[in-house]
Amino acid sequence: MNVPAALKRISDTIWELPVSYKEGMLVPARIVASEKLVKEMDAGVFEQVSNVATLPGIQRYAYCMPDGHWGYGFPIGGVAAMDPRSGVISPGGIGFDINCGMRLVLTSLTAEQVQPKLHQLVDRLFARIPTGVGCHGFIKMKGDDFRSVVQQGSRWCLKNGFANQQDLEMTEEGGCFPGADATHISDKAVERGYNQLGTLGSGNHYCEIQVVQPQNIMDPELAGSFGLTTVPNQVVIMFHCGSRGFGHQVATDYLKLFLSVMERKYGIKIVDRELACAPFHSPEGQAYFSAMKCAVNMAFANRQVILHRIREVFSDVFHASPDDLGLRMVYDVAHNTAKLEKHLVNGSSKELLVHRKGSTRAFGPGLPGLPECYQKTGQPVIIGGSMETGSYLLAGMATGADAWYTTAHGSGRTMSRHEAKKKFRGDKLQREMEQRGIYVRTDSFGGLAEEAGAAYKNIDEVVEATELAGLSKRVARLVPIGNIKG
């Protein structure tokens, strides 16, 4: 057990390290978790979340969500809101895979209709959606075309026939963070990204065919509002990917820049160089914010093109149009971003720069920025579990204000990738999963071993903790039957 003696229990799901825990902390650090989950967290979580609490301009608390584990700079699951007038922006609080996010898509098909064609569907998805390290997409473009993509996001997809208007409406920020300026991205970043549109990549990225079993619907009214109760054993598609090598290069470029100016030019001293930062309103801070938005928009476009391919595959296999098959989006949510948002601080509305690293925006009912159809329900929240266990659809709650309307983003690793590869064999895991009714195609058996269910926390425990903490309410549990992975 790695829990520091200074950690105080505030409630059943809130744990706090006081400002006295570490020199330089400006606010307390809070962890959202059950007692079991907090005891299982690695020591890096407590070290990193308390480091975050030392950053200039941080407001209220540094947070870590229940899926938290050690990351780069911030823990995975880390959340921090900065006063943009006095605070900083830090790539370590956003991540290398900028806007690594989730998309959930409905169908009107049932498990009984899909099962006879499951192998055909998964095989065709695997053929149409490139997976693995360094994979290239089917859209051929040049650097200047790609610069247009990263400034427009999903709007570029709409103009070029890869999206419909409803897709954009069901995507966070309409699929485009405004203010993305391609003059702030390097040629190397463009070189790494221009041929990767419509690709999953590797690691924990996947595209999964899932079933909504009637007994796994926790809130029938919300499920109906999200489109989940039209048929019993309804089939849905969930996928997870981000900005690929492009986002990684953006983060790398600006970490290097921030390290060169942070102390020399701005007099900022930090406890961990992985938290390299710059004043938000400095030229360097604004340039990174713009470049980060470019990576966010690339990821939105990437997921949109993947959805286009999914629609093609299902149409081909079932000989019907996407509309006839009910292939429409529930929502697309981003992880790994920083956004200017208005929140209540001491009773007054205040604009804050909210860093979410491996965590999900979870706006409650009535908040601006939600589609009209979700104003009464709150934002759909998509939390992926492991490929062996299942995932969840949840809804943002009105009680999430303290944590800046943020919740978990996945189940969270308990085992390093290296350790998982030593413990599991990918080919054996693939056979075992098929025996349990989950057909998987992968670009790498080593990569499959890294994603074994036992390498992750219990997704049921994670989402229960988010609900008990008032961050996101469980709507339905989604069970995997088919999966493609890098």
Q: What is the pLDDT of residues 151-206, one digit of tens each?
A: 999 999 999 999 999 999 999 999 999 999 999 999 999 999 999 999 999 888 99
pLDDT score, position 465? 98
409 in active site = yes
pLDDT score, position 443? 87
pLDDT at 229 > cutoff 90: no
pLDDT score, position 163? 98
pLDDT at 230 > cutoff 80: no
Lowest pLDDT segment from 125-139, 160-174, 208-222, 416-430:
416-430
pLDDT at 416 > cutoff 90: no
One-letter amino acid at 26 equals L
Lowest pLDDT segment from 20-24, 355-359, 457-461:
457-461
Catalytic residue among 69, 184, 248, 409: 409
pLDDT score, position 51? 98
The token pair that represents 466 in the structure block: 């988010």
What are the phi and psi torsion angles at 466 (to 5°)? -65, -35
* Closest-CA residue to 461 (of 86, 20, 68, 42): 68
Q: What average pLDDT is seen over the chain?
A: 96
Non-local (6+) Cβ contacts of 110 within 8 A are 231, 232, 233, 234, 235
- Determine the Cα–Cα distance for residues 251 and 257; give it in Å rounded to an integer: 10
Cβ–Cβ < 8 Å for 445, 374: no
If pLDDT is split at 50, 70 and 90, which confidence band does 1 have? low
pLDDT score, position 127? 97
Q: What is the pLDDT of residues 277-292, one digit of tens each?
A: 999 999 999 999 999 9
Cα–Cα distances in angstroms (integers) from residue 286 to residues 25, 184, 278, 421, 456, in the given order: 25, 9, 9, 40, 36
Q: What is the pLDDT of residues 69-98, one digit of tens each?
A: 999 999 999 999 999 999 999 999 999 999
Which value, to the nearest 10 degrees, does the dihedral of the CA atoms of residues 295, 296, 302, 308 take? -150
pLDDT at 432 > cutoff 80: yes
- Determine the Cα–Cα distance for residues 68 and 13; give it in Å rounded to an integer: 13
pLDDT over 70 for what percent of the chain? 100
pLDDT score, position 450? 86
Q: Helices 143-152 and 283-318: crossing angle, nearest 10°?
A: 90
- Determine the Cα–Cα distance for residues 470 and 12; give it in Å rounded to an integer: 11
- Determine the Cα–Cα distance for residues 226 and 394; give it in Å rounded to an integer: 10
What are the phi and psi torsion angles at 330 (to 5°)? -85, -55
| 217: DSSP letter | B
Strands (E), 203-285: 206-212, 234-241, 278-279
Rounded (5°) CA angle 393-132-198: 65
pLDDT score, position 414? 81
